[in-house]
């Protein structure tokens, strides 16, 4: 007697036989250039799980990296912050040294460019202790040939005059001091008038008649009439002009950076010192803004 | 050994037929050989699918789904092997496995001895067989294949007629009860 298999058995057998033949087909068939069909099927079937696995692994790794693995981050952050501060300090020191080197190079270049005019480079070693006076102290004195009323400049322009001389140091009265000043004139019109300090960062130009034409931004240079500065050394630029009676009220922006002096030049004589003419002085607006920008050009021979 | 068995399906008694030893093997082999050789001499005879008719017949007669599907598998794979390198092994095998299983399953529930029933079953199985082949070509092999055409309908009718006649002849191979 032959046993008749159950229907479930038959279905299982059917499924198994069909699957075996499908695989047999897959092993034989090559699909285009993608290899055997079974490989294409296998890759197609596995790739969703692989992608899902990669996505899940990436998520788990992201959670781990961004949440659980942050235990040492605080310490690392603190160490990096300290290191960052140290690096910032180092950078600041290097920048200061680079700036000083630039200044010294500018002074040297200026001196070499004016070899015929005896001058002496000096380092600013102190500034006035009070707010009532605007003076600086330089490291050159009698032993270096410095005397009273010698002009002091930078490659940017006039700074002031020597008012006291000691053995190894001297005191310089800045143009911006209430007692400071220099004989000056408008560069374009050659209108003369003394420029003096007010105790403020800016200066005033006096005794310019109301009818004289003065443009904001116009450059002002020394006139040489004060017997301290030679002619045509930049003093500043016109910052503001108001009509008055009988003279204009002219506010002047100093050409030299008087609040940031570190190295200056002491003029040992009244010999002329040639400053290149600033082309921008023809343009009042830009001339006012770029008055200090004339310095680099002044350094060039 | 008993020559027939009886399956009880409700009130209907359906016989499970046995055949002379080697009859199934010889008939299947003959069908495969004829299928491969006849079209050489009479090309139009390629419209017949003798291995399919044999699979249907023995499935309906034996009425055992497991043996029916295995017989269909064997005949189908043999037909694949004889069909040349362009037909992959399993192409006819899959289709005839399903037909063998269904024929056995239907044969276990219905009386398939009447010629009209046989004609209808052969016609239906032929169409289903062709549908499976198209499915395999389209889905598994990614090859274009039309779902239905007039030739298929004619072939189904011709095979149904030939099969109905052939089944009468094959009935003689049964052992008498």
Distance CA A264, CA B122 (A): 117
> Does position B8 have pLDDT exceeding 50, yes or no?
no
Please report whether residue A63 resides in a domain. Answer: no
Cβ separation A25–B65 shorter than 8 A: no
Residue A34 pLDDT level (bands cut at 50, 70, 90)? low
* Count of alpha carbons within 13 angstroms of residue A234, beta-carbon side: 30
Choose, out of A7, A12, A21, A30, the residue to mutate when testing the contact with B (most B CBs < 10 Å): A21
pLDDT in tens, B30-85: 998 888 878 777 788 888 999 999 999 999 888 788 889 999 999 999 888 887 77
Q: How far apart are CA A41 and CA B45, in angstroms?
A: 37
| ipTM over the 0.85 cut-off | no
Phi, psi (deg, nearest 5) at residue A29: -90, 135
What is residue A221's three-state secondary structure? strand
Q: Which of B166, B168, B151, B136 is nearest to B51 (CA)?
A: B166
C-alpha separations of A129 from A134, A137, A175, A258, B26 in Å: 9, 11, 17, 15, 127
**Per-residue pLDDT tens digits for B13-38:** 556 678 877 888 999 999 988 888 78
Alpha helices in chain A (DSSP H): 7-28, 37-66, 73-113, 284-289, 294-299
Confirm whether A44 is domain-assigned.
no
- Interface contact A17-B2, CB threshold 8 A: no
Residue A295's CATH number: 2.40.10.340
Q: State residue B13's pLDDT score.
A: 52
Judge whether A279 and A285 are in contact, CB under 8 Å.
Answer: no
Q: Is the pLDDT of residue A53 over 70?
A: yes
Q: How many domains does chain A have?
A: 1
- For A1, the closest of B2, B7, B101 (CB atoms) is B2
A163 falls within a domain: yes
Whether residue A9 and residue B66 make contact (CB cut-off 8 A), yes or no, is yes
Sorted by where each begins, the domain ranges of chain B are 4-173
Query: CA–CA separation, B23 vs B18, rounded Å?
Result: 10
Q: What does the pLDDT read at residue A131?
A: 64
8 Å CB contact between B61 and B107: yes
Separation of alpha carbons B41 and A177, rounded Å: 128
CA distance A42 to chain B (A): 13
- B-chain CB neighbours of A31 within 8 Å are 142
Confidence of residue A6 (pLDDT cuts 50, 70, 90): low
A12 touches chain B (CB under 8 A): no
DSSP character at residue B46: G
For position A278, what pLDDT does the model report?
Answer: 52
Output B5 or A252, whichever has higher pLDDT: A252
Which chain B residues are within 8 Å of A21, Cβ to Cβ? 73, 77, 89-90, 93-94, 97
Chain B contact set for A3 (CB, 8 A): none
Residue A200: pLDDT band by 50, 70, 90 thresholds?
confident
> How many contacts does A have with B, using Cβ atoms within 8 A?
66
**Closest in A18, A29, A37 to B94, CB measured:** A18
Cβ–Cβ gap A10/B105 under 8 Å:
yes
pLDDT digits (tens, 9 = 90+) for A103-155: 788 888 887 777 777 888 898 888 876 666 788 989 999 999 999 999 999 98
Residues of B with CB below 8 A from A18's CB?
94, 97-98
Residues with Cβ within 8 Å of A140's Cβ and at least 6 positions away in sequence, in order, are A120, A122, A146, A168, A169, A170, A266
Residue A24 domain flag: no
Give the least confident one: A54-58, A94-98, A288-292, B9-13.
Answer: A288-292
Residue A114, domain member (yes or no): no
Mean pLDDT within A259-269? 88
> Is A1 in Cβ contact with B90 (below 8 Å)?
no
Q: What's the confidence (pLDDT) of residue B159?
A: 95
| Residue range(s) defining the domain that contains residue A289 | 119-273+281-299
Chain B interface includes A22 (CB < 8 A): yes
Residues of A in contact with B66 (CB under 8 A): 5, 9-10, 13
User: HSE of B154 in the Cβ direction (CA atoms, 13 Å)?
Assistant: 7
Q: Is A10 on the interface with B (CB under 8 A)?
A: yes
Task: Report if residue A199 sits inside a domain.
Answer: yes
Does the distance separating the beta carbons of A18 and B98 come in below 8 Å? yes
pTM of the model: 0.44
Note the pLDDT of residue A204: 94
Residue B135 per-residue DSSP state: H
Task: Evaluate if residue A5 carries a pLDDT over 70.
Answer: no
pLDDT tens for each residue of A146-173:
999 999 999 889 999 999 899 999 999 9
Residue A280, pLDDT score = 44
B42: closest CA of chain A, how far (Å): 31
With cut-offs at 50, 70 and 90, classify the pLDDT of residue A239: very high
CB contact under 8 A, A22 and B70: no
Q: Does A18 touch chain B (CB under 8 A)?
A: yes
Q: Taking CB atoms and an 8 Å limit, are A22 and B140 in contact across chains?
A: yes
- pLDDT of B148 > 80? The answer is no
């Amino acid at each position: 007697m032959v046993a008749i298999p159950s229907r479930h058995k038959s279905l299982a057998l059917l499924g198994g036989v069909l699957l075996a033949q499908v695989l047999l087909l897959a092993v034989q068939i090559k699909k285009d250039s993608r290899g055997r069909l079974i490989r294409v099927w296998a890759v197609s079937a596995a790739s969703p799980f692989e992608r899902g696995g990669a996505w899940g692994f990436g998520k788990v790794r992201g959670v781990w990296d961004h949440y659980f693995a942050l235990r040492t981050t605080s310490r690392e952050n603190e160490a990096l912050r300290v290191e960052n501060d140290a690096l910032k300090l180092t950078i600041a020191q290097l920048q200061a040294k680079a700036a000083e080197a630039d200044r010294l190079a500018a002074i040297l270049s200026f001196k070499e460019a004016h070899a015929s005019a005896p001058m002496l480079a000096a380092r600013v070693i102190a500034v006035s202790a009070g707010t009532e006076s605007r003076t600086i102290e330089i490291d050159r004195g009698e032993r270096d040939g410095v005397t009273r009323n010698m002009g002091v400049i930078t490659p940017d322009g006039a700074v002031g005059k020597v008012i006291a001389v000691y053995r190894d140091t001297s005191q310089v009265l800045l143009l911006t001091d209430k007692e400071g000043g220099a004989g000056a004139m408008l560069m374009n019109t050659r209108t003369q008038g003394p420029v003096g300090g007010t105790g403020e960062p800016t200066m005033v130009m006096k005794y310019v008649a109301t009818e004289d034409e003065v443009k904001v931004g116009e450059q002002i240079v020394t006139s040489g009439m004060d017997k301290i500065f030679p002619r045509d050394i930049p003093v500043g630029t016109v910052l503001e002009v108001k009509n008055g009676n009988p003279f204009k009220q002219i506010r002047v922006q100093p050409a030299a950076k008087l609040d940031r002096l570190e190295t200056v030049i002491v003029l040992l004589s009244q010999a002329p010192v040639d400053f290149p003419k600033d082309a921008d002085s023809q343009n009042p607006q830009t001339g006012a803004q770029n008055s200090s920008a004339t310095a680099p050009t002044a350094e060039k021979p | 050994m008993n020559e027939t068995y009886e399956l009880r399906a409700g009130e209907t008694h359906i016989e499970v037929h046995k055949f002379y030893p080697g009859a199934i093997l010889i008939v299947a082999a003959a069908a495969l050989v004829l299928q491969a050789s006849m079209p050489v001499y009479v090309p139009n005879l390629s419209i017949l699918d003798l291995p399919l008719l044999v699979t249907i017949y023995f499935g309906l007669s034996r009425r055992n789904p497991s043996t029916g599907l295995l017989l269909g598998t064997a005949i189908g794979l043999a037909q694949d092997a004889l069909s040349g390198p362009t037909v992959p092994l399993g192409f006819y095998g899959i289709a005839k496995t399903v037909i063998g299983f269904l024929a056995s399953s239907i044969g276990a529930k219905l009386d398939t001895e009447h010629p009209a029933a046989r004609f209808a079953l052969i016609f239906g199985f032929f169409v289903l067989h062709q549908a499976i082949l198209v499915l395999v070509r389209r889905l598994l092999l990614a090859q274009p294949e039309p779902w239905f055409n007039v030739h298929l309908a004619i072939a189904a009718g011709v095979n149904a007629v030939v099969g109905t006649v052939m089944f009468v002849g094959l009935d003689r191979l049964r052992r008498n009860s």
